[in-house]
Structure formats: structure tokens, C-alpha cells
């Protein structure tokens, strides 16, 4: 009998060892990892630079406190803000990064409304859950936080109608991840950014799944030539050591003065040392160009399935964040099990989308192996 709450529908495999693009279960069975712990292990498993950072810091000090100066936090913040006019706040997870973003937006603007989008996912704590445009995830947890409205994604008219002087922020994912790998259209996102500016509302971009090089640029929004007011990241920031961050324009600093917001663990020495190594590794032009190239190959190969497989309706996404829309939720469940039987791990998104998130360090040969397995399973 399990002693755990049944809030996850868990598969029976227990992944006990990881190495590069492979993971091994409790029976020693080896799987090609096409999910990276849901976009967390972007540098794969057992990466030498990550291992070195972790072991070096573990010999020094793990945790000090945000009551003291942190040169490690300063270092990571400098790398994440990339010479632009942003400041960083560190926390422990994606949902906490979004909580910080929502609080900062309300306090800095003095406005209360947050507009987000249908089928979005921003986290499970009350603020982030309230921003999440999925009624099924909110069911049973009412009352949620007041002041959130959900609009159709990729549509401009409803946004124009709802954007008024009460709106503190518009919050969105550049590619909706949990919602089904749905990319924002470029014109739409650029118009959203312009409308926010005009209206004095802040634009919060949730890069928790799309960031850290996942789509072939460090942040996915970079491909849209927009400048968000607030950016949230987590997941791959320390390749599996829990950490999150909110980056916000320096003009918002006054709203987050001493004592206004905080966390005990956020940005602790161990997480920051690893984050420093991870950001340095990923934010290199050659590394990002390789992700884009591998992503183009993956998408091009899988797109062929739209013609060759009756089960495949669409192939979407960018870089190494690809969704294959299947003809039904049943096909999706069956496909995930068949891929597992062929020793490849992939996950779902939305109701009927197969989500592929291989480590960004995956080799071309490993990627080709994965493509072969997916094509074989979906061509049946």
C-alpha cells in the first residue's frame, strides 16, 4: 500500500539512474529520455559541469540566508539579465516565480486585474492556479484569488475588449506547454506587447517550460522581438536542483522594497552554484544554434507523419519542444505505453498531444533513434 497521496497518476517505473540522454529504472531497463523530467534536465543526466558545480559547492556551504549578501545570486542574476535593464528575484519553483510576478505586477501598477489565457498553465499555488486558464485544475479549490480573467489565446479582439485601466498585467506562455504545445502567433504576441504598453499594463512572460534554451533561443520570446516587463523561469535553471527566478524591469524595484516579499530557501548557495554552471553552458551561441538545428530536424521528420499516419493530426512546436497532436486521448495513452515498450519515454500535453522534450544535449544519433521509434509506433 502506498503512503503517498494519489494526486499523481504514476507509471510503475522508478527512474533510479540517469546518464546523458538515458535513464534506467529499478530493474535496470534503459530508456531514451524524450521528456527530461518535464523540461528540467535540459543538460541531460550526470552532466560533468553540473556535477562539478554541485560537488564543489556541497563541500563549502549549502544554504546561508537572504539576510546576507549573495555574490552567487548576483552572478546568476547578471548572467540571466544579459546586460539588459532587469533585476532578479530567486525562489524555488515555477509556481513561486509566478506568484512573485503577480504580486509585483499588482503592487507596481496599483491595479488588480490579471488577464491570462485559456488552456494556459502557470502553477498550482493559489495565485498561479488562479492565473491558469483550465477550469478542471481549479475545480474543488474555490474560492480562488479574485481578479483573473481568461481570454482566447492567439485572438486580439477579446484582449482589446478586456484591456482597461484596471489591468495590472497580461500573463502568457510563448508556447503553451501543458495546454497542448500551442505556439503564440508572432503578429498576435507583438500586438499584445504593444497594447500592454499603450495601456500601462505589464507583460508577464512565463518561460518556465520554454526558457533555458528549450526552443533554440535562451528565452522563447526572443524570437518575437518583444521586451517583457516580467519573465519567469524555473525547471531547467539548475537542471534538477529546485530553483525558480523572476526577472523584472528595474523600474519595478520600488514595489519590491525590503520586507515586501521573500523566501527562506530561494536562491540558496547550492542552487545558485549549479544555476551558474547551467546558464553558462546553455547561453552560448553554438549551443543554442545546435538546439535549433536538432529541433528543425526533429520537427521535419515528425511532420512526415501527418501524411503517413492516420493517427497524427498535427505537429507543432519549436526547438526541442515538439507536440504531436493525435486523433484521440485513447491513441495518446496507447502511444505513450507503446513508446515505453520500445524504451522511449515521452509524455502528454492537453488531451491528445504527445509531448517531446528531449535533453538539449541529445546527440544527432540519439535523436535519430528516437525519431525511428516514434515513426514506427505511430505508423502502426
Ligand X SMILES: Cc1ncc(COP(=O)(O)O)c(C=O)c1O
- Binding site residues, ligand X, CB under 6 A: 38, 93-95, 98, 121-123, 173, 177-178, 206, 208-209, 234
CB closer to ligand X out of 234 and 312: 234
Q: Which is nearer to ligand X, 44 or 127 (CB)?
A: 127
95 annotated to bind ligand: yes
Of residues 33, 206, 229, 276, which has the active-site annotation? 206
Query: Closest distance between ligand X and the C-beta of residue 94, in Å?
Result: 2
- Is 235 annotated as catalytic? yes
Nearest Cα to 238, choosing from 280, 181, 287?
280
Q: Is 331 among the annotated ligand-binding positions?
A: no
Of the pair 90, 366, the CB lying nearest ligand X is at: 90
The C-alpha atoms of residue 312 and residue 356 are separated, in whole angstroms, by 14
Residue 11 CB: number of other CB atoms within 10 A? 13
- For residue 121, the minimal CB distance to ligand X (Å) is 5
Q: Which three cell numbers stand for residue 154?
A: 492567439
Was 208 annotated as part of a binding site? yes
Q: Which of 148, 218, 219, 235 is catalytic?
A: 235
Q: What is the DSSP annotation of 333-379?
A: HHHHHHHHHTTEE-EEETTTEEEE---TT--HHHHHHHHHHHHHHHH
Peptide bond into 292 cis (omega under 30): no
Q: What is the crossing angle of helices 48-58 and 269-282, to 10°?
A: 160
Q: Which is nearer to ligand X, 252 or 321 (CB)?
A: 321
Output the smallest distance, CB 132 to ligand X, in A.
8
Which residue of the set 89, 117, 121, 218 is catalytic? 121
Going by C-beta distance under 8 Å and a sequence separation of 6 or more, which residues neighbour residue 225?
A: 190
Of 234 and 378, which CB lies nearer to ligand X in the complex structure? Answer: 234
Nearer to ligand X, 177 or 213 (CB): 177
For the bound state, the minimum distance from the C-beta of residue 181 to ligand X, rounded and expressed in Å, comes to 11
Q: How far is the CB of 175 from ligand X (least distance, A)?
A: 9
How far is it, in rounded angstroms, from Cα 221 to Cα 201? 18
Strand boundaries in 157-289, DSSP class E: 167-173, 175-176, 182-183, 202-206, 230-233, 244-249
Q: Is 322 part of any known ligand binding site?
A: no
Instruction: Tell me if 370 is assigned to a ligand binding site.
Output: no
- Total H helices, total E strands in the chain: 13, 17
Alpha-carbon torsion (119, 120, 125, 130), positive or negative? negative
> From the CB of 210, what's the least distance to ligand X, in Å?
7
294: annotated active-site residue: no
> For residue 302, what are the contacts with CB-CB under 8 A and spacing of at least 6?
315, 322, 324, 356, 371, 374, 375
Cell numbers placing 259: 520586507
Comparing CA positions, the residue from 224, 228, 131 lying closest to residue 185 is 224
**Residue 325: φ, ψ to 5°:** -80, 125
Least separation, in Å, of the C-beta of 35 and ligand X? 12
Q: 214 a known binding residue?
A: no
CB neighbours (10 Å) of residue 263?
Answer: 17
Instruction: Check if the beta carbon of residue 244 is closer than 8 Å to that of residue 233.
Output: yes
In the residue annotation, 365 being an active-site residue is answered as no
Residue 311 or 355: the one with the smaller Cβ distance to ligand X is 355
* 355 labeled binding residue: no
Annotated binding-site residue? 106 = no
| Residue whose CB is nearest to ligand X in the complex, by number | 94
Binding site members for N(2)-acetyl-L-ornithine: 124, 263
Binding site members for pyridoxal 5'-phosphate: 94-95, 121, 206-209, 264
Binding site members: 94-95, 121, 124, 206-209, 263-264
Active site residues: 121, 206, 235
Amino acid at each position: 500500500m502506498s503512503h503517498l497521496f494519489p494526486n499523481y497518476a504514476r507509471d510503475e517505473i522508478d527512474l533510479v539512474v540517469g546518464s546523458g540522454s538515458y535513464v534506467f529504472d529499478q530493474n535496470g531497463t534503459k530508456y531514451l529520455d524524450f521528456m527530461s523530467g518535464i523540461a528540467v534536465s535540459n543538460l541531460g543526466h550526470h552532466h560533468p559541469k553540473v556535477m562539478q558545480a554541485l560537488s564543489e559547492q556541497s563541500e563549502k556551504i549549502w544554504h546561508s540566508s537572504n539576510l546576507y549578501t549573495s555574490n552567487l545570486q548576483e552572478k546568476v542574476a547578471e548572467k540571466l539579465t544579459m546586460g539588459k535593464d532587469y533585476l532578479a528575484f530567486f525562489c524555488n519553483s515555477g509556481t513561486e516565480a509566478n506568484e512573485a510576478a503577480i504580486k509585483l505586477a499588482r503592487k507596481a501598477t496599483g491595479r488588480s486585474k490579471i488577464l491570462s489565457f485559456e488552456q494556459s498553465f502557470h502553477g498550482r499555488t493559489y495565485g498561479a492556479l488562479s492565473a491558469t486558464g483550465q477550469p478542471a485544475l481549479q475545480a474543488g479549490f474555490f474560492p480562488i484569488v479574485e481578479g483573473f480573467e481568461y481570454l482566447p489565446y492567439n485572438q486580439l479582439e477579446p484582449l482589446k475588449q478586456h484591456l482597461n485601466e484596471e489591468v495590472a498585467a497580461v500573463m502568457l506562455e510563448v508556447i503553451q506547454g501543458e495546454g497542448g504545445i500551442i505556439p503564440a502567433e508572432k503578429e498576435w504576441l507583438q500586438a499584445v506587447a504593444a497594447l500592454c504598453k499603450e495601456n500601462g499594463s505589464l507583460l508577464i512572460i512565463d518561460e518556465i517550460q520554454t526558457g533555458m534554451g528549450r526552443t533554440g533561443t535562451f528565452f522563447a520570446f526572443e524570437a518575437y522581438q518583444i521586451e517583457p516587463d516580467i519573465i519567469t523561469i524555473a525547471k531547467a535553471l539548475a537542471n534538477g536542483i529546485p530553483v525558480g527566478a523572476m526577472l523584472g524591469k528595474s523600474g519595478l524595484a520600488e514595489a519590491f522594497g525590503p520586507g515586501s516579499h521573500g523566501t527562506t530557501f530561494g536562491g540558496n548557495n547550492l542552487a545558485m552554484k549549479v544555476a551558474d554552471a547551467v546558464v553558462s553552458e546553455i547561453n552560448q551561441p553554438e549551443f543554442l544554434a545546435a538546439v535549433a538545428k536538432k529541433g528543425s530536424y526533429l520537427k521535419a521528420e515528425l511532420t512526415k507523419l501527418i501524411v503517413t499516419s492516420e493517427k497524427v493530426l498535427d505537429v507543432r512546436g519549436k526547438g526541442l519542444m515538439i507536440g504531436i497532436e493525435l486523433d484521440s486521448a485513447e491513441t495518446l495513452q496507447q502511444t505513450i505505453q507503446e513508446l515505453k515498450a520500445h524504451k522511449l519515454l515521452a509524455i502528454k500535453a492537453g488531451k491528445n498531444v504527445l509531448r517531446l522534450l528531449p535533453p538539449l544535449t541529445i546527440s544527432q544519433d540519439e535523436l535519430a533513434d528516437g525519431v525511428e521509434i516514434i515513426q514506427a509506433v505511430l505508423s502502426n
